[in-house]
Amino acid sequence: MLAHEPQGTSALVGERLQQRGYDVHDHVVTTDLDRPNDAAPFPDFADYDMVVPMGSVRSLTNTGEIDSWIFDEIERVRAAHARGTPMLGVCFGGQLLAAALGGEVEQAPAPEIGWYDVSAVDGTPNPAGPGPWFQWHHDRFTPPPGADVLAVNDNAVQLFRLGRCVGTQFHPEVTYEHVESFLTGADDEYLAEHGLSREGLLAGIRRHEDRNARQCFALVDWFLDEVVTS
């Protein structure tokens, strides 16, 4: 698991992988939100059966503040894909997979912070289900060439698959404690600017938490059963 900050660990995704018999190793890329370019060296991706890049408060539209590590990570992801290593990218991680494999990342028409439904595309089965899923992003990705788009909403592509790689724009992994940790990186001015409050976001995760765990586990099961074993 590639946690780009301590607030962005694998949470429910890692829990389900452990339940399915995987040993989960969380690698934290940066540990200080005020020092985004101060990064730990990456492990060798070739040593792992699977790579799961998680979310980040950073943006692939502003690589200057993370240029000590982001291009290295992109190259490692590209090489892992060439080796056939399964990868599941979440939010920033999904954008990372898209960028590494020939897609693009851009600022979204509007940020999505909270719970949003997603839809299948032209009758294509949507393994994520309709949600709602938790979102916290200002950017969106264009899937790489040849990818299957599996879920969308009006604001962004939400799920794509390219071979043994899957990228989500939403956050399937969240728990109450996880959202609490996200909020440590958001001040009151930022929340007010987007019409949000800590109390409202925490009430939302409390309301959706049990159902979200079930849908997260189902998504991870699909990834393992249909993507990893393909």
pLDDT tens track for 178-204: 999 999 889 999 999 999 999 999 999
What pLDDT score was predicted for residue 132? 98
Tokens of 13: 């995704």
Output phi, psi for 118, to 5 deg: -130, 160
**Which parts of the chain fold into alpha helices (H)?**
11-19, 70-83, 92-100, 176-183, 188-193, 198-222
Q: Crossing angle of helices 70-83/92-100, nearest 10°?
A: 70
Question: Does residue 4 come out as left (phi exceeding 0), alpha (psi in the -120 to 50 range) or beta?
Answer: alpha
What pLDDT score was predicted for residue 43? 96
Domains of the chain, by residue range, sit at 2-228
What pLDDT score was predicted for residue 228? 96
185 vs 78, residue with greater confidence:
78
**pLDDT tens for each residue of 14-61:** 999 999 999 999 999 999 999 999 999 999 999 999 999 999 999 999
Evaluate the omega torsion of the peptide bond into residue 132 and state whether it is cis, within 30 degrees of 0: yes
> Model's pTM, two decimal places?
0.96
Catalytic annotation, residues: 91, 171, 173
**CATH 3.40.50.1000 describes domain 2-228:** no
What pLDDT score was predicted for residue 73? 98
Report the DSSP pairing between strands 27-28 and 157-162.
unpaired
What pLDDT score was predicted for residue 203? 97
Paired strand residues for 56: none
What pLDDT score was predicted for residue 122? 84
